[in-house]
Amino acid sequence: MLGESDGSGVHVWFPWSGALFTHFFAQCFIDYAAMGADNPGAHGVPHRPRVDWWENARRGVQLHRAKALRNPLGVPTLGVNAWGLSACDSAGGYAVPGVFPARIPTLDQVPQIDFADFTPKDDFGDGTIAPYAAGCSLLFEPEAAIAALRYYRGLAGSDGRPLVWRELGGGGGGGEGGGGERRRRWERLPGLLQPWYQLGRPRLRGDRPRATGPGDRKRSERLGLAVVHA
């Protein structure tokens, strides 16, 4: 289905779930950033619009950010750096909150095939925000994603203990450099997220896909991610 809302731009969306992961999950496995727009007409489906799935995901991220900023229900956990409703564990158990654009009719649509025969409504759940949603959006909106991760990193309870980030396990073993300090998750994020960002960087810069360096390849292999080669 095609839709648009809150200045997100026209994009394809999934009517049975407005969770942000539906936009970016496939891009963990397929390099849509390097593929450009698809061509349904070349496969006998001329009435379907061509879609650039990387750009489509970016617009899905924009939709989630815009809805969090507008926050029509006044959900206290949403804000400029707290956005991205997606599948996660909540206080009440497993939850799949999400938001939707307004549907744009297109030619030759068949109900329940080209579009749902119902109008989905935004579901803010109980306000639980899954940090991975903004983190995975690094591929499409790096500045906004990093700002959100820094905000989550700074969240702390009344006792000063972090609410989101935790220390890595492994007891009191020494970290790199022999200082005996345990490294925190946030200190490893730049290296762990770099291969993910690498996939989208050419599109963000308007470049063609670039080969990655040895360090990028090692990080990608450790995470089980493919790297892009020119």
Looking at the fold, whether 63 and 130 belong to one and the same domain comes out as: yes
How many angstroms separate the Cα of 192 from the Cα of each of 51, 62, 64, 162, 230? 29, 24, 24, 20, 22
Residue that wins the pLDDT comparison between 168 and 66: 66
Cα-only R_g, the chain: 20
pLDDT at position 48 is 81
The boundaries of the domain holding residue 193 are 186-230
* Contact (Cβ atoms closer than 8 angstroms) between residue 175 and residue 183: yes
Per the domain annotation, does 95 fall within a domain? yes
Q: Report percent pLDDT > 70 for the chain.
A: 72
* Contact (Cβ atoms closer than 8 angstroms) between residue 139 and residue 24: yes
Overall number of domains in the chain: 2
Per the domain annotation, does 168 fall within a domain? no
Which tokens is 35 given? 């593929």
**Residue with tokens 């020494």, as numbered in its chain:** 174
CA distance 63 to 24: 13
Looking at the fold, whether 118 and 213 belong to one and the same domain comes out as: no
Q: Per residue in 29-75, pLDDT tens?
A: 888 888 889 998 899 888 788 899 999 999 999 999 999 999 999 99
CA distance 212 to 225: 12
- Domain CATH for 120: 1.50.10.140
Per the domain annotation, does 38 fall within a domain? yes
CA distance 142 to 159: 31
Per the domain annotation, does 54 fall within a domain? yes
pLDDT at position 93 is 93
Per the domain annotation, does 51 fall within a domain? yes
Domain boundary among the residues 154, 173, 196 is at 154
pTM: 0.73
Per the domain annotation, does 105 fall within a domain? yes
Looking at the fold, whether 67 and 10 belong to one and the same domain comes out as: yes
Q: Per residue in 142-166, pLDDT tens?
A: 999 999 999 999 999 999 998 887 7
Looking at the fold, whether 133 and 224 belong to one and the same domain comes out as: no
pLDDT at position 217 is 52
Looking at the fold, whether 1 and 114 belong to one and the same domain comes out as: yes
Looking at the fold, whether 143 and 197 belong to one and the same domain comes out as: no
Per the domain annotation, does 210 fall within a domain? yes
Looking at the fold, whether 149 and 190 belong to one and the same domain comes out as: no
CA distance 152 to 67: 19
Looking at the fold, whether 97 and 211 belong to one and the same domain comes out as: no
Looking at the fold, whether 194 and 148 belong to one and the same domain comes out as: no
220 phi, psi to nearest 5 deg: -65, -40
Looking at the fold, whether 86 and 134 belong to one and the same domain comes out as: yes
Looking at the fold, whether 3 and 43 belong to one and the same domain comes out as: yes
Per the domain annotation, does 61 fall within a domain? yes
Looking at the fold, whether 150 and 39 belong to one and the same domain comes out as: yes
What value does the mean pLDDT take over residues 112-122? Answer: 84
What value does the mean pLDDT take over residues 112-132? Answer: 89
